[in-house]
Amino acid sequence: DKANYRHFMAKEIHEQPEVVGQTLARYIDTACQRVALPVKLPFDFREVRRITITACGTASYAGSVAKYWFERFARVPVEVDVASEFRYRESTLQRGDLAIFVSQSGETADTLAALRYAKAEGAHTLAVVNVPTSTIARESETVLPTLAGPEIGVASTKAFTCQLIVLAVLGVAAAKARGELSEDEEIDLVRGLVEIPRLMSAALTTEPQIERLASDIAKARDVIYLGRGTSFPIALEGALKLKEISYIHAEGYAAGELKHGPIALIDETVPVVVIAPRDRLFEKTVSNMQEVAARGGNIVLMTDAKGAEEATLDTFATIVLPDMPAAFTPMVYAIPVQLLAYHTAIVMGTDVDQPRNLAKSVTVE
């Protein structure tokens, strides 16, 4: 049931504050402002020497964001890989390593095969899944559910932001177990997490502006997305969403990589979407934007009020998102990139919920 929406994708984008709130409620003890995983972990984070995160597509980008969190909060090395590579490259897992798998459907063939491989190697396996009855959920040692509810649109939206929530909580739990987090720091992070549904609702109010922008994006042949730190995987996600539902070619790059090749693509016809909350890396990203502007590129800047004020350069459009703690911007910045893909696809007249050549659940490799 699409409620009053034209597409499942639109409904699922708008449901995010609610389902993210539900997922948070399962993972946070709001009364004492502490993280509280719904299951007891069968391993001790202090003994985990390495974490691998394996998934496909959008779920792998949730894993890429989580890498920054695990490394920054918990000081544990993390490797992220797409499942189709992980399963065949004879990854060197050791007994006691933690292998995390992220999947909406819980049926993705490559992710399942990677899970079986990790189990056979003696790693602890933990799955972040949206379908609790799925094969990946059944076969994994530990299951952390996302509470996104059924996701019907082929392009993943609400499952992605719920995956981010679960992985963020797990990162905080790991940091705590490893003695990397004071009580005050934990409370601070938890407060930040609890605010996310409200901030996502605020991000949804940018929709009319993004809808107007979509008619310009729809004229482009190529679109580039840039971001640094946790915004880099959001750039990759923005590019994937745009190409899969609007069929416009798009690429996401780490902003600092621009000058190592992709900058050759920039001219007046190439919109460059820059995901740049005003965090500690903001200045660096602004200088990358200046390089784009100097070559006539049309910048679509996604930032907060402070960022909009400080980035003194001409943009084609600036989308102003709410101010928020730097750690958890990916959940909120996912929304404008989803909306931009959605509205561009509408202008293109594509089948948004059932894009060509794609299936919701990829059960063959």
Site size toward ligand F6R (CB under 6 A) is 15
User: Which of the stretches 21-29, 100-108, 179-187, 191-199 binds ligand F6R when contact is defined by CB under 6 A?
Assistant: 100-108
From 23, 54, 84, 105, residue interacting with ligand F6R (rule: CB under 6 A): 105
From 16, 23, 140, 156, residue interacting with ligand F6R (rule: CB under 6 A): 156
Give the footprint of ligand F6R on residues 34-93 (CB under 6 A).
56-59
Antiparallel, parallel or unpaired: β 34-35 and 28-29? antiparallel
**Catalytic: 158?**
no
Nearer to ligand F6R, 237 or 279 (CB): 237
Nearest of 201, 228, 212, 243 to residue 326 by alpha carbon: 228
User: Which of the stretches 105-113, 253-261, 280-288, 344-352 binds ligand F6R when contact is defined by CB under 6 A?
Assistant: 105-113
From 9, 35, 76, 155, residue interacting with ligand F6R (rule: CB under 6 A): 155
Q: Write down the least CB distance from residue 128 to ligand F6R, Å.
A: 9
**CA–CA distance, 258 with 264 (Å, rounded to integer):** 9
Distances (CA, A) of 281 to 145, 229, 275, 293: 32, 8, 11, 19
Residue of 2, 119, 243, 360 marked catalytic:
360
Give the footprint of ligand F6R on residues 296-355 (CB under 6 A).
none
The reply on whether position 33 binds ligand F6R by CB under 6 A is: no
Q: Which residue is nearest to ligand F6R (CB)?
A: 57
From 16, 23, 84, 111, residue interacting with ligand F6R (rule: CB under 6 A): 111
From 104, 125, 285, 329, residue interacting with ligand F6R (rule: CB under 6 A): 104
- From residue 228 to residue 257, the character string flagging contacts with ligand F6R as x (rule: CB under 6 A) and all else as - is ------------x---x-------------
Nearer to ligand F6R, 10 or 266 (CB): 10
Nearer to ligand F6R, 104 or 285 (CB): 104
Angle at 348 between CA 347 and CA 354, to 5 degrees: 110
Nearer to ligand F6R, 201 or 361 (CB): 361
From 54, 108, 231, 285, residue interacting with ligand F6R (rule: CB under 6 A): 108
Q: Write down the least CB distance from residue 346 to ligand F6R, Å.
A: 17
Instruction: Tell me the catalytic residues.
Output: 360
Question: Residue numbers of the site for ligand F6R (CB under 6 A)?
Answer: 56-59, 103-105, 108, 111, 155-156, 240, 244, 361-362
